[in-house]
Structure 1
């Protein structure tokens, strides 16, 4: 057991994770209110032709949480990708990412990781989402729910979890780094503009930069050069921490791209870096055994 996993166990005990109640019992329909109106001219909508896709329930230690699952309709088992939500939860964009991955031949599943703290889809601004829900989500809970999602995927018989990858966006980008330090069975991760340094708390005791030496899988980090919330200096810190620890980490910084450049339904979307990052994700997964 690493120091990080010991910290997570201690955190789980302190926050009584086993006694929490699931609040969000189903997924949001459409896009989160905080991102309305959507940029309809750029939003990508992937169909379900040739797919099995829809909401599922993930058994956890305290009940079950909702998730979105998409996979090819025939054959299997398929390589497995965990998709970790943005700050806005598992709304239409994250569901669509799952369908895009399924079209590539993956079993893709996105658990609603705020299910015990609240439904962010009905909240109208980011500050409210952070203060009322996200700030109350323990890292230990997230790691346990991702582990439960892997177990669910394996139990379906349609997912090959020996070929396990993870990708996440914004809030989920940070989680990619944490999960790569947590699960030794993970083959590879792709983190889209996930925070690397910052304040810690009882519920979030470590930053990715603190966990570089604990990384168990190679991680590709995709970042925007004009991201106001993630300075280039923090990316440089993470690069150096990974290098010093001898870990396989690669970083791509897109000049002029803002935060959330992959979010095609928002004004922050930038088509060229989003497309390039998606191609790099596929290549990274193939290179490291998630294919």
Structure 2
């Protein structure tokens, strides 16, 4: 399936967010997928991943979640591959992450969903979400804020999902009305075994349909082939489980397009 990638500007809560819009060739209708970036921002790897999803007959939007703080490339190739320089890059990016409060993510994600739904060829009805690293956390927050508009979530090597704060994302999973899939990195300081257990307990108590599993040997950031954290088997497994989730999402929404 041929796809078309366009760089667009999305009207968001506090300005315009640059984004990748990727759609299959043809008239559709294509179910919507909102993709939440990792901390390293928009770059060729994320466009490539969105294109792979779109090849399975989905319309994908990948917004720059940091639009309030920065536009354009956020990191250099050396910062992605050199662990020492990665640490310095995180120091620069952390304040941008802290700007993304729950309230701002709720407002922004509504704007992203509105924009995607208004595009030609995009199917009406709820969207799916996929998120990586901090994007997994923010995708969960978006789904909790808009349970009627996001009906499936694939979250990969997310951090900060369980905290000791009263507004920790895991405490609001009772809002969810769709299926969620969590793939956790192995030995991840941002998502420890204790935190995974707390997330699963909250999902169980809320009666959410979910899968939560640890990818053994896969480090934090394992899907990102342009970084030093890349783990080929983890990436392969992530695609398999993501497309299974999206296929279930497509079936549940009654779309007649080709199956993923």
TM-score (structure 2 length as normaliser): 0.85
Residue of structure 1 equivalent to 2:210: 249
User: For 1:26-45, what aligned pairs fall within 5 Å after superposition?
Assistant: none
**Could you say which residue in structure 1 is the equivalent of 2:69?**
117
Query: Which residue pairs with 2:155 in the alignment?
Result: 191
Q: Deviations over 1:73-110 (max 9, x none)?
A: 21212011001010112222222211111111110011
Match of 1:171 in 2: 134
Q: Which structure 2 segments of 5+ residues have no match? A: 77-87, 254-258
After the TM superposition, which segments of 4 or more aligned residues of structure 1 sit over 4 Å from their partners? none
Contact 1:51 1:103 in 2 (8 A): yes
CA deviation after TM superposition for structure 1 residue 199, in Å: 5.3
TM-score, normalised on structure 1?
0.76
Q: Is the 8 A contact 1:150 1:161 kept in 2?
A: no
Q: Is the Cα contact below 8 Å between 2:14 and 2:68 reproduced in 1?
A: no
Aligned partner of residue 154 in structure 2, secondary structure? strand
Secondary structure at 1:251's aligned position in 2? strand
Which is worse superposed, 236-245 or 225-234?
225-234
Alignment partners' CA distance in 2, 1:85 and 1:209: 20
Q: Deviations over 1:237-279 (max 9, x none)?
A: 1111110111112112111211011111112111112111111
1:141 maps to 104
- Counterparts of 2:218 and 2:14 in 1: how far apart (Å)? 41
Match in the other structure for 1:180: 143
Task: Extract unaligned runs of 5+ from structure 1.
Answer: 1-48
Aligned counterpart for 1:288 among listed residues 226, 231, 249 = 249
- Compute the RMSD of aligned alpha carbons: 2.0
- TM superposition shift of 1:122: 4.8
Cα distance in structure 1, aligned partners of 2:38 and 2:216: 22
Taking the aligned partners of 2:98 and 2:112, their CA distance within structure 1 comes to 22
CA contact (8 A) 1:117 1:137 kept: no
SS at match of 1:174: helix
